[in-house]
């Protein structure tokens, strides 16, 4: 790993600013232009990423990308969001149109090897493909879907998962393949297909904007594993490190009990783990290659920890109403586990 030269002034709590001596090509380009280009799933992905009435992007995936901007540029607003679809997202990343995807993208072997040459530095949301049906069909299990017409998007892992599910269940189905997520939702809502298949979280998001959300049921089965996370091009380990350790930092903050409300008070803690994590002492930020040693303090002050971001956009008190489930911390029965920050 390449390291950074210390240049800066001493801030409160002994925080030191750092400047890059050398980085990978993508990270260098981001720093030179002063803006991170982030691909987010659009146009309608409530909870994960949509523009508000002022045109400013909001959502879970959006705040994850803004956290990357803090780590790289020390400014959550130095991000350009580019709407991408399941088909356009990888060409956009390969071509350099975007620097990072934060768009409900599944980490798979074929995407993370020499076939497609992307890196998935961390998982931000553990999901699985599910199926939504109108309640009027009186279907309560995916095992009752023999002969169904199914709306599915191309260019996603869902197409293969759907085919695999019906093959192993010895059932038949008719796919209705529609590229645009909004058109997929409208087609399902109009009755063009019996079933809408996608990640459970995306079905919850799309159900929230159907004409009559209460008239639709997401079936209990999960037909696949979908670890979702940000993706970057291979070949820039410095950017991969920043993305990974920013996500791990959000998870670690929740585990340490550091919140948006108490982060500055916690910086005065005598706990050495907290002092290192918040950049009060040590040089973790320098090792990761961030703009400032106390980058996690800035991120948490702006957005809170992982739980706060989740609850604000996806949790039980939002229109999506998603329980944490698998996305709880490892010590609370979930799958979220951040490597040690030392």
- What tens digit of pLDDT does each residue of 247-295 get? 999 999 999 999 999 999 999 999 999 999 999 999 999 999 999 999 9
Q: Where are the domains of the chain?
A: 25-125+228-326, 129-224
CATH 3.90.1580.10 corresponds to the domain 129-224? no
Contact of 71 with 295, CB cutoff 8 Å: yes
- Phi-psi region for residue 258, left (φ > 0), alpha (ψ -120 to 50) or beta? beta
Neighbouring C-alpha atoms within 13 Å toward the C-beta of 124: 31
Average pLDDT over residues 62-78: 98
Peptide bond into 43 cis (omega under 30): yes
- CATH superfamily ID and name for 25-125+228-326: Periplasmic binding protein-like II (3.40.190.10)
**What was the pLDDT predicted at 22?**
53
Residue 33: phi and psi, rounded to 5, are -80, -20
Decide whether 25-125+228-326 matches 129-224 in CATH topology.
Answer: yes
CB 106 within 8 A of CB 226: yes
226 with 158: CB under 8 angstroms? no
What pLDDT sits at residue 45?
85
pLDDT digits (tens, 9 = 90+) for 132-188: 999 999 999 999 999 999 999 887 789 999 999 999 999 999 999 998 888 999 999
């Amino acid at each position: 790993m390449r390291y950074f030269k210390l240049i800066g002034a001493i801030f409160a709590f002994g925080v030191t600013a750092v400047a890059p001596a050398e980085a990978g090509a993508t990270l260098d380009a981001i720093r030179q232009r002063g803006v991170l280009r982030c691909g987010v799933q659009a146009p309608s992905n409530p909870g994960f990423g949509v523009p508000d009435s002022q045109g400013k992007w909001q959502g879970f995936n959006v705040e994850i990308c803004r956290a990357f901007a803090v780590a790289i540029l020390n400014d959550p607003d130095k991000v350009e969001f580019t709407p991408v679809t399941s088909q356009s997202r990888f060409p956009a990343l390969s071509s350099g149109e975007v620097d990072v995807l934060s768009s409900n993208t599944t980490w798979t072997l074929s995407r993370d090897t020499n076939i497609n040459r992307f890196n998935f530095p961390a998982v931000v949301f553990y999901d699985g493909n599910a199926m939504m049906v109108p309640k009027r069909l009186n279907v309560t299990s995916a095992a009752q879907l023999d002969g169904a017409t199914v709306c599915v998007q191309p260019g996603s892992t869902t197409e293969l998962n759907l085919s695999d599910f019906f093959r192993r269940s010895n059932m038949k189905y008719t796919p209705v393949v529609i590229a645009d997520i909004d058109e997929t939702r409208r087609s399902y809502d109009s009755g063009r297909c019996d079933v809408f298949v996608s990640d459970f979280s995306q079905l919850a998001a799309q159900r929230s904007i159907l004409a009559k959300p209460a008239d639709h049921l997401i079936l209990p089965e999960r037909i696949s594993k979908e670890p979702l996370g940000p993706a970057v091009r291979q070949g820039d380990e410095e950017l991969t490190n920043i993305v990974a350790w920013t996500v791990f930092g959000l998870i670690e903050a929740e585990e340490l009990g550091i919140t948006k409300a108490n982060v500055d008070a916690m910086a005065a803690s005598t706990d050495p783990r907290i002092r290192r994590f918040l950049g009060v002492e040590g040089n973790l930020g320098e090792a990761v290659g961030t703009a400032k040693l106390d980058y996690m303090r800035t991120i948490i002050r702006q957005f809170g920890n992982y739980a706060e971001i989740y609850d604000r956009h996806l949790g039980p008190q939002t229109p999506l109403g998603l329980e944490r489930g698998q996305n709880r911390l490892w010590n609370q029965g979930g799958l979220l586990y951040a490597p040690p920050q030392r």
